[in-house]
Structure formats: C-alpha cells, structure tokens
Chains A and B, each alone.
Chain A
Amino acid sequence: MPAELKQMKDLACTSDSHVHEQSPSNQTSIAMMQEPQEMVEETVTVEEDPGTPTSHVSIVTSEDGTTRRTETKVTKMVKTVTTRTVRQVPLGPDGLPAMDGSSPMGSYTDSIDRRYLKNGERFITPQASSTLTRSYNSYNESYPESHEGQYRPYIGHDGYGDLSDSYGSLSRGVGYRPRYAYVPGGTYRPDDGSFTLPSRRENYGPVAQPQVPVGSSVDLNRSQPERFQPEPYGLEDDNRSLGVDDEGYELDPDYSTVNRRTSAGVPERGRPHKGRGYDDPIETEMVEERIPYLHGGYAAPLAQPERGSMASIDRLGKRSPSIDSIRKDPRWRDPDLPEVIAMLSHPIDPVKSNAAAYLQHLCYENDKIKKDVRHLKGIPILVGLLDHPKPEVHRKACGALRNISYGKDNENKVAIKNCDGIPALIRLLRKTNDMEVRELITGTLWNLSSYEPLKMVIINHGLQTLTNEVIIPHSGWESEPNEDSKPRDAEWTTVFKNTSGCLRNVSSDGAEARRRLRECDGLVDALLHALQSAVGKKDTDNKSVENCVCIMRNLSYHVHKEVPGADKYQELDAGQTTGTGGSQKKKKDDAGCFGGKKAKGKKNGDLDRNFDTLDLPKRSEAAKGFELLYQPDVVRLYLSILTESQNFNTLEAAAGALQNLSAGNWTWSTYIRATVRKERGLPVLVELLQSDSDKVVRAVSIALRNLSMDRRNKDLIGSYAMGELVRNLPSRQQRSAKNLEEDTVVAVLNTIHEIITDSSENARSLIQTQGIQKLVAISKSSQSPRETKAASHILQMIWSYKELRNALQKDGWNKSHFQSVSAAPKGSKGTAGRSGYDDSTLPLVDKSQDNEKSGSRDMIPMDELGPDGYSTIDHRDKERKYKTIDNIGDASEKEPLKNDTNRKNINRSNRASVNLVDARDIKPQPVDSWV
C-alpha cells in the first residue's frame, strides 16, 4: 500500500506551483465567497485501509496481580486518495485573495494522500469493501489482454500484487460500481436458473461496458486514481439492499471451512442456491472473474461467495452503520464469515490476502466477529499464513491477527498463542523488512502482551529479537559507536512505539520478567539512549517515551534486591529494624529494604552528608546493561523528563523511577537520593505536586518521601515542600482542590509524616502552613479510614514534640485534637490491614518508636501498595477507580480545576506558552511540537 501511495505523493509534491488551493477541511465558514475565485472539481476516492486500525491496550501489572490498563483509543484510519482539479479563475481587481500574487492560472491536478479518521458514519461508509471487488478490479485490468482467460497469466501478471495493493484494501470503494456486468465470457450462461433472482432484477439496471479502458495496454504501475475513474464519493448512496437477502438465505449445515475447501476446484454453479442469482451484480462480477479460472481449470471458492449471504454477516452481530449503508446496494454482496475463512486457504494467494484483509475489516471493533472467527478456527489459519512467502499474504494475515488480538476477550489472545502465533510473529519479524508488516507484528504483540499469562511467552520467544530488531536500531544506540559518526537520535516510529509498549507490558510480570529484561543484551542501554535523545530533542510527550520510561521504572523496581551482586552494596544491617516493630507484615517480602535507614537520625544524615564529598564508586569500565538503571547519571535524565514532559503517564513513571531508585537500602540508593538534591531535582519534584494529575502527585509525593531518607533532603523538603503537600490535602469545604483520590491523599499524608518524623523543625513548618486544621478535619471527619488513620498519625507525631505544644495551644488546639483520633483508626484496621505501617496505631508517638517507623519508611507508602509493598508499578484497578472518581468530580469541581490549571501555567513558565490544555488525566495530552 504505501509504495503505491508514495508515487502519488510524489506527484503531489511536484505540483505545488499553485497559490490558492482548496483543501477539504472544516473551513466552511467562508465557503460562500470562494465561488468567484475558483471552480473546483473534486473527485475523491476513499479507501479503507484495514491495516491502519490501531488498537492497543497497554497494561502494566504489578506483582500482586492488580493491573492497570491503559487503553489507547482505537482509531480507525481511512486512506483517502483525492484527485482534485482546481481551475483558478482570475481574481477581481480588488485582488484580495491574492496574498501571493503569483497565482498561476490554468489548472493543475493535485493528488493528495490523506488519512481520515473514522469520525462518524460518513467517514465509515467508504470502508465497506469486499474481497470480491478487489479481485475484480485487478482482473479488470488484465482481462482485456488475457481474455482467453488463462489462470496462469492472471496470477503471474506482473504487478498484480502491487495492483491489488494499491487499492488499499478490498476497496469496493468508490468507483467500482459494477458497470459491466454481463460483458464477457463464453462460459457464463445467463439462463442458468439457479443464478437468477427476479426480485432483484429491476435493481440491476442496464448492462454497461466497462468504463475502464479496455484494450488499452494498462500500465499497472500508474497511480490508481487515473486508472479507475472514480465516481465522486458515492458510497453513501450505495444502496445495497439488506433485508431482502435474509429470507433467501439458508445456512447450509454442512457449510464449513472444511467443506468449502474440499469443494474448491469443483464448479459449484449448478448447486441449487435459493434466492441468489447472477443478476446480483456482485455475482456478476464473480462470473467474470471466474472465467479465467474456469478456463484454466480453476474453480475458486472466491468465485462462489454467492453461496453464502450477507445475511449471515448480518447475523454475526451488530454491524457498523457503514456496512449497513453499503449493503443497501443490491448489487453487492459480501461473503459470509465461513466463506471468508475458507478463502484463507484458497490456493490463489491474492484470494488469501484479500480474505485476510477483509477479515481484518470485519473484526474491527467487533468482538462478536472476532469470537466467531475463533470458533470457526480461523486463527490457526491466519497464523499459518504468517509464514507465507508472499508479503501481501503475511501482511494481511498479520493485520487480521492484530485486530483479533485486540480487545478484552483474552480468549482470542490465547487462541493466537495456542497455535504458536507468538513464535510465528517473531519469526516473521526477523524475516521481513517491510515497515508496515513490522508495525502489524509489533502491534499484535503489544495487544497480546496485555494478557498476563502471555507475557512470559512473549519474553521467552521474542525479547531478544524485539530488542535487536526494533528497540536497538530505532533507539539510535550503538553498542560500539563509530568514532566518526555522530550519535544517532531515536526514531519514534510506530514499530518502536508498539514494541516498547509490548515490553512495557511484559516488564510488569514479576521478578523473573524484570530479570530477563534487565539482562537482555542492549535493552537498557538502548532505552536510555532513546530517552536521552528524547530529552535532547525536547520531544518527551510521545507514547514511545512514555513506554520507555515505564519500562525503566518497572526495571528499577527492587533493583537493590534483584540485580546480581546487589548484596555487595547493601548498607547497614538490614535486619536491625525488622526486630523492633511488631506489626510489620511486610517483613517477609521486604526485609531487605526495611532496615536500611533505620538510623534515620544522625547516622543517616551523616552518611548522606558525607556523600556530598564522596565520589561515586570507582569503575574500571563504563557501566552498561542493567547497571545503568541505578547509576546516578539517570537522575539527570529523569529530572529532565520531569521538567519537560507534559504527558502525565510519563511524568508519573519518571517520578516512579526515582521513587524506586531511592527506596533501596543499598549504596546506590544513597547516591541517588543525594544526586537528586545535587541536580536540583527537589524543586522539580515539588513543583509537580501542583500537577493536575492525581497519579503524578502521588508518585511525586512518594518519591519525596523516599528521598527524605536523606537527612538533608528531609530538611529541604520540610522547608520548601510542606506548603505544596498541605495544599493537596482536602479541606473542610471540599475533598480537595483537585479532588484527589484517597490513595493520593494517603500518600501525601504519609509523606508529611515522614518529613516531620524526627524533625521538629519540619513539624513546625507544618503548623505554619496551616496544616493542622486540615489534618484535624481529616482525622475527625474523613470518610476514608485510611486517611483518618494517616492524618492521626501525623497529629500524634506533632503532639509528641513538646516544644511545639505552646505554639499549638496558642492556635487554639489542645491535646484532644491530637489524641482523640487514635481510637477510630483502630476500629478500621481491617481496611488498612495490608500494611504494617498503618496498623501500628499507637497512642501519641514518641521518639522511641521512630525506629519502627523508619523501618517502614523506605517502603513506599504502604497504604498505596499491594501486599508487595512499594512500587510504582501500575495498578490497573487503581487507574480505573481513579478515572471513575475523576469523571464524577468533573462537573462539580470544574472551577477549582481551572484555577489550578492557571496556577500551574503561571508557575511553569518553561512550559508551552500556548497551553491547549484543560488538563485532565483522561484526555490525551495535547501535544505541541517545535519544528
């Protein structure tokens, strides 16, 4: 497809000698005054490209099985070929429109390749397409020359593949009203009663000769629009009838794939077929098409689709309006699903590929048909076609598989896996250089990777291939850079996006998956290179970057415990704190990261302070592979992303990566924490506390909590971030300015707790930022037991600083405000039972208990996390929940939100000066790219 379209595009490029130009767009407002200037004749052909529908689900899953699902909206693309002739009429003397006086007179033809988003019925209509038509078109070209109808010449016709290719798909698109029904061949016998359907006859209309220039030697390489004389966009009017067929249709009980196949080669025209006739134009075409086959001794199933009925497709489920409208044309009939699947095994390759393409079209956004394809055993056939030598065939098969693999029905994914579809896809990826095929393969794999049980299968079969074939080359990374050549930038191709999305999904499949990815040669190196390139080009909002950062974040999870040799870097005695607290349920998982910084006080501070004068460990050679994950160098990268990106998912992931890296109790975490400070990362993070995105606030808040294990970080965060943290808390009037989710509120509360722990100075700043009022309100009246408990912990902590009590009492607070709450949380223990931290509901905390707290502190907010404790690995459920809440809050909170956005814009002057955003998490981020 692309190849042919390219030709036209080049054509278009050369014709830019015009000045005034009309372009289909929604500039309707000034239409009236256009008349005098130009006359426009426009013919547009729209073709569906079944390869383009892109449907991706990215799901990242945490180890505990909760998953987050991000579903990229499915967009269906329709390729449009426009042939437009504009005759320019001289302008009036006022010459106003002559912005550029040189407007050439005369006419030109401009061909534009255009993609239409599916956007309502009118868009869709052209999609309807049928395999039959397409073959028909092709045949048409060759027919005049090979009238004798040898099969061989037909198939061997040079350029055939290209030809059908260039029609994009099954386009029974616009120009293909069958104008030439009965024209030809001797073998057709119109009196054959079984092919007559009187009721349709009146619809049939006059038999016309082909309008395609018969007899002229057709240059198959010409660009199409010239060839097929499209009618102007006539598909809406295509009034193929619908219901009529239904009665005539009988589902042959024997009608199955197998049956079809065995009957291939046997002319079936004599077979009684109720209510179907060759005067149905589609069948008429089929007759023509069949002629060569018959001459050549071929009776192809393709030639017999009349057997079924579109009625069967009607029964397959709700059709899109477009199909309905197409169907209104009584002259066309689509093959039904069993027929299409049978055609996949047809001996003629173009039939196979057309059938696969049509299948892809049928499956688009139609779960019922996907399921039917599965039940009809179509999936193994499609997978089998992946190994087909002809690009056309494996491409279309892959396209069909991509649509089938998309969606919530995991059975389809499993079916692909069960017939070894994953290794077949990987095999094809190694073999093909066709970019489109690679996009389809990786898109399919992305879809498959969203289903938990397939993740490890993908890793086992495809990890290194995906890395070598896609990630490394597209990232621009070179393992042995040539000194002469400049470092290459990453290319954000669709293939890269798909592949990174796939790896993002599989990277969440637990410790073993992480290990495999970390140890995959070149993967981490290439991802880092790609991200650095993104930062360098200030192109950090796109999906590929998001995927890369998410992979990095996931791979950074538990590095301090999971990478080989990690034990060499462990600091302090990990076991120390686990002994102190009685309620640490997380011990079993995370004993290692518990103890670490138990000596939160001086010892820790000293150690971190020392780091400022310490050099990083000496290395004999540059870090590579997974070591790069936790080198302090990555801090700058993540901070750049946090500064630049406007993609909330990317921001969350980058903050999550810092959170993961700063969580550990090994030497590298200590370096990371200090590096964030030295790279001036704290202000970056604090600023992001203003984000409109719940999950960004949450990730940043947790990262700050981990970072405050470093004593100096804690002091700084206490002084500078307290205000922002408190601002994120719900106040009496409303849940919070941003209507933050419970999880986020709890995360913020836990961060505040951490910051004031062991620091009466920070507790004092909390009082100064009017935090007490909010905390008391939460502890007294929050609907959420987790919030209540977290707030009361803070209050207890504050009261434990005797030196602050005077100030507190001056403000009108008394002991009861800080104490009374402790009972309530106890009652609600059940809810928060997943975290030891929450359960340690103590009376007023005093310093002696800090140890326990500190033990839990490098665990990211336990409240947030599943049983496995901290991580920012996505939680699908939470995401969903969040979205729901967010939607609900949308109406009522609109004003505050807007204010928030404004505030953010003012503060973040380095952001786009033109802000297209009313930024809500749910909406796709408006992108703004410098060029």
Chain B
Amino acid sequence: AGTGGAGTAFVPGQPVTAVVQRIEIHKLRQGDNLILGFSIGGGIDQDPTQNPFSEDKTDKGIYVTRVTQGGPAEVAGLQIGDKIMQVNGWDMTMVTHDQARKRLTKRNEEVVRLLVTRQSLQKAVQQSMMS
C-alpha cells in the first residue's frame, strides 16, 4: 500500500491494511437507555484536523474520545484513541458522526462487536515483524 500523498491519505477502493482488534461490548442498561460507556469523535462530516488521536490529520474515521471508568467499554478493553473500523460488521471508516453514533446505539442490539485499531497495537506488530 504505502502512504498516500498529502491530501488523500488513502486511495478509495484500494485495500488498506490495519491491525485490528475485536472488542465485544455488552451494553449496560441505565434507566431507559442501553449505554456502552464511551464517546466517539470524528466522522466524514467532521473536521479531521481537530482529532487529537489520529496520526494522519486527514483521517475522518471514528475515534474513541472518552471511556467511562468501569463502564462496559472499559471492561471490554476499549481504549481512548482507538479507531473504530467496524461495528457489528458495518464499516465505520466512511460514515458521518451521526451514522456512527446511531450504529452504536441501536436499541435492539445488546451487544456490539467492534473492530478497532490502535497505534500501540500496530507498533507492537511492526516491532515483532522487524525483529
């Protein structure tokens, strides 16, 4: 793959690789709501330069911005700064913020399975490959 040029960090349609982790979060019932216990930022309708977590400031992906202590997401191993690649099989790399939020907050889904990628994960893999 290789890095894309400035402006277009990746070529649509071209495979891009990432090491991903699968995280399964069981929602917690809180009053009427089912909560996951984290917050997201980003999305294709958001200004990617304001995302403190992305390495590539053109990345309009969905990122985990906060994780409630002791909440379902933390228990499941989600970390601040994780980039969410998929939610229950749905792509999250090319969605608006609101689409991502909706996808995560389906009332009829008690469990969400995330595919996330995080820099530490990738670095670990990278190091192992080099050694």
> B90 to chain A: which residues have CB within 8 Å?
9, 12-13, 112-113
> B65 to chain A: which residues have CB within 8 Å?
912, 914, 916, 928
Residue from B40, B60, B91, B124 in contact with A114 in the complex, judged by beta carbons closer than 8 Å = B91
A26 interface contact, C-beta 8 A: yes
Nearest CB in chain A: distance from B108 CB, A:
12
Residue from A44, A112, A931 in contact with B40 in the complex, judged by beta carbons closer than 8 Å = A931
Residue from B66, B94, B105 in contact with A80 in the complex, judged by beta carbons closer than 8 Å = B94
Nearest CB in chain A: distance from B29 CB, A:
14
| A24: nearest chain-B partner, CB-CB | B16
Interface residues of B in 47-89 (CB under 8 A from A): 47, 50-52, 55-56, 58-61, 65-66, 80, 83, 85-86, 88-89
Q: Tell me if B39 and A23 are in contact (CB < 8 A).
A: no
Q: Tell me if B91 and A23 are in contact (CB < 8 A).
A: yes
> B91 to chain A: which residues have CB within 8 Å?
23, 82, 112-114
Residue from A26, A40, A927 in contact with B41 in the complex, judged by beta carbons closer than 8 Å = A927
Interface residues of B in 16-39 (CB under 8 A from A): 16-22, 32-33, 35-36, 38-39
| A10: nearest chain-B partner, CB-CB | B89
> B86 to chain A: which residues have CB within 8 Å?
16, 21, 23, 112
Nearest CB in chain A: distance from B53 CB, A:
8
Q: Tell me if A926 and B122 are in contact (CB < 8 A).
A: no
Q: Tell me if B14 and A26 are in contact (CB < 8 A).
A: no
Mark contacts of A753-797 with chain B using CB atoms, 8 A cut-off: 1 yes-contact digit, 0 otherwise. 000000000000000000000000000000000000000000000
Residue from B43, B58, B97, B125 in contact with A30 in the complex, judged by beta carbons closer than 8 Å = B125
Q: Tell me if A923 and B50 are in contact (CB < 8 A).
A: yes
Q: Tell me if B15 and A24 are in contact (CB < 8 A).
A: yes
Q: Tell me if A26 and B13 are in contact (CB < 8 A).
A: no
Chain B interface residues toward A at CB < 8 A: 1-4, 7-22, 32-33, 35-36, 38-41, 43-47, 50-52, 55-56, 58-61, 65-66, 80, 83, 85-86, 88-91, 93-99, 101, 104-105, 113, 115, 117, 121-122, 124-126, 128-129
Total interface residues on A, CB under 8 Å, equals 68
Pick the most buried of A12, A15, A75, A96: most chain B CB atoms within 10 A of its CB: A96
Q: Tell me if A927 and B46 are in contact (CB < 8 A).
A: yes
Residue from A13, A28, A119, A929 in contact with B97 in the complex, judged by beta carbons closer than 8 Å = A929
A120 interface contact, C-beta 8 A: yes
Residue from B17, B93, B98, B115 in contact with A542 in the complex, judged by beta carbons closer than 8 Å = B98
> B35 to chain A: which residues have CB within 8 Å?
930-931
Q: Tell me if A28 and B16 are in contact (CB < 8 A).
A: yes
Q: Tell me if A100 and B21 are in contact (CB < 8 A).
A: yes
Residue from A13, A25, A486 in contact with B32 in the complex, judged by beta carbons closer than 8 Å = A486
| A918: nearest chain-B partner, CB-CB | B50
A19 interface contact, C-beta 8 A: yes
Nearest CB in chain B: distance from A255 CB, A:
38
> B121 to chain A: which residues have CB within 8 Å?
99
| B8: nearest chain-A partner, CB-CB | A120
Contact A13/B88 with A23-B115, A928-B40 known, Cβ cut-off 8 Å: yes
| A235: nearest chain-B partner, CB-CB | B13
> A27 to chain B: which residues have CB within 8 Å?
10, 16-18, 83, 117, 122
Chain A interface residues toward B at CB < 8 A: 9, 12-16, 19-34, 36, 38, 40, 42, 44, 46, 75, 80, 82, 84, 94, 96-97, 99-100, 110, 112-117, 119-120, 122-123, 232-233, 486, 492, 537, 542, 912-914, 916-918, 923-924, 926-931
> A15 to chain B: which residues have CB within 8 Å?
89
Total A-B residue contacts, Cβ distance less than 8 Å:
221
Residue from B39, B44, B83, B89 in contact with A930 in the complex, judged by beta carbons closer than 8 Å = B39
Q: Tell me if B7 and A120 are in contact (CB < 8 A).
A: yes
B contact patch SS: loop
| B52: nearest chain-A partner, CB-CB | A916
Q: Tell me if A25 and B3 are in contact (CB < 8 A).
A: no
> A19 to chain B: which residues have CB within 8 Å?
20, 22
| B32: nearest chain-A partner, CB-CB | A486
Nearest CB in chain A: distance from B100 CB, A:
8
CA distance A927 to B48 in the complex (A): 11
Q: Tell me if B59 and A31 are in contact (CB < 8 A).
A: no
Contact A913/B66 with A12-B90, A114-B94 known, Cβ cut-off 8 Å: yes
CA distance A912 to B126 in the complex (A): 33
Pick the most buried of A13, A15, A20, A914: most chain B CB atoms within 10 A of its CB: A914
| B19: nearest chain-A partner, CB-CB | A97
Nearest CB in chain B: distance from A902 CB, A:
14
Q: Tell me if B85 and A46 are in contact (CB < 8 A).
A: no
Q: Tell me if B14 and A119 are in contact (CB < 8 A).
A: no
CA distance A123 to B58 in the complex (A): 15
| A917: nearest chain-B partner, CB-CB | B50
Nearest CB in chain B: distance from A564 CB, A:
38
Residue from A12, A22, A75, A914 in contact with B17 in the complex, judged by beta carbons closer than 8 Å = A22
> A99 to chain B: which residues have CB within 8 Å?
19-22, 121
Contact A21/B13 with A112-B90, A930-B39 known, Cβ cut-off 8 Å: no
